[in-house]
Amino acid sequence: MKIPILDLRPEVELLWEDLNRAVQEVLRSGRFVLGPNVEAFEEEVAAYMGVKHAIGMNSGTDALVIALRAAGIGPGDEVITTPFTFYATAEAVSLVGGTPVFVDIDEESFNIDPGLAANAVTSRTKALLPVHLYGRAAEMDPLLELAKKHGLKVIEDTAQAFGGEYKGKKLGTLGDAGCFSFYPTKNLGAYGDAGMLITNNDQLAEAARMLRVHGAKETYFNEIIGYNSRLDEFQAAILRVKLPYLDEWNKKRRLLAQRYNRLLAGIPGVITPAEGVSGHVYHQYTIRITGGKRDRIKQALAEAGIGSMIYYPVPLHRLPVYKDRAPSLPVAERLAGEVLSLPVWPGLPEEGPELVARVIKEALQN
């Protein structure tokens, strides 16, 4: 039996009639950009998150860029963030003219270490950009306290954690803005690029809405330099079909993670992910393989027809574009050589986790 790292076909089959109906209604409407489905999806997400504003955009990357711009981050400003994330997190800071300042991560959570973030604040620091990596919440209380102490903005990169929580509050709602990706692989995924920014700040929301349409409140009366970052009707319609299933799918991911935890418990050289203080939504179920054996295990899984991925093989401060930006960050560097993400999609066959665990155990024993 082959088990891919992700297979969206069962989801498509489950929702086939509703997806077809939604797409056909868009086609017949003649409205394709920022139309009624975008407006309705924004309202539905705002209600789900319990926020005043949800603003659809072209991608999660654009949401980060626009959130930073709308929060007043620009040239010369420093933004403290994690090196253990997808490139877009830091890239967004650079795109607005800011400087990403990388601090090391917490070994258990894979997320930014709040104590090290506190040590990195300077007179140029203007924002914190925590990432809720793999679907687990960053430790937000000390980060929010740090931001309050120094008058910093907090932009949450929630690309991998739609529906996740921190102490009963939805991720993306704790800071000044939350940024989401609806890339097809995400827990709530479109069938193309799509993203969103959420906030309770009226001024930030107004600026973000202007920035996504070339800096204009009224068409052809442009006030600032902006972007073309509009969520299209097809993607919004698809996301509206899928949103009601999200909590159920996230629950299935958590149940799969619990099965993996039981199956992998006690295997020497395997460290399973910790749940954290709130509802981890397991965008990725990421284990650590110690002793320099990670690549060998990945190869054994591949030979057994099981997909796996390494998120991320190179910390951002070691990429060519940022290689002179930070000293050694030992935890991020070590974990980049140990992490391995296993299949955890909601439609995973019942016997999947058992097969995956058996291959890992046998490979480590050989």
Question: Burial level of 166, CB count in 10 A (0-12/13-18/19+)?
Answer: buried
Helix (H, G, I), strand (E, B) or coil at 38: helix
d(CA 82, CA 105): 7
Task: Return the H-helix or E-strand segment holding 178.
Answer: strand 177-181
| Cβ atoms of 164 and 277 closer than 8 Å | no
d(CA 221, CA 243): 35
d(CA 160, CA 64): 13
Give pLDDT, residue 355: 97
Whole-prediction pTM value?
Answer: 0.97
Q: What is the DSSP string of 88-155?
A: HHHHHHHHTT-EEEE--B-TTTSSB-HHHHHHT--TTEEEEE-B-GGGPPP-HHHHHHHHHHHT-EEE
In the chain, the domains with their CATH numbers are 9-103+110-244 (3.40.640.10), 246-365 (3.90.1150.10)
d(CA 142, CA 114): 6
Other C-beta atoms closer than 10 Å to the C-beta of 361 total 17
Q: Cis ω on the peptide bond leading into residue 312 (within 30° of 0)?
A: yes
Low-confidence ranges of the chain (pLDDT < 70): none
Question: Long-range contacts for 302-308 (Cβ within 8 Å, ≥24 apart)?
Answer: 304/355, 304/359, 305/1, 305/2, 305/3, 306/2, 306/3, 306/342, 306/343, 306/355, 306/356, 306/359, 307/3, 307/4, 307/5, 307/6, 307/343, 308/5, 308/340, 308/341, 308/342, 308/343
d(CA 171, CA 110): 16
| Cβ atoms of 312 and 336 closer than 8 Å | yes
Give pLDDT, residue 66: 98
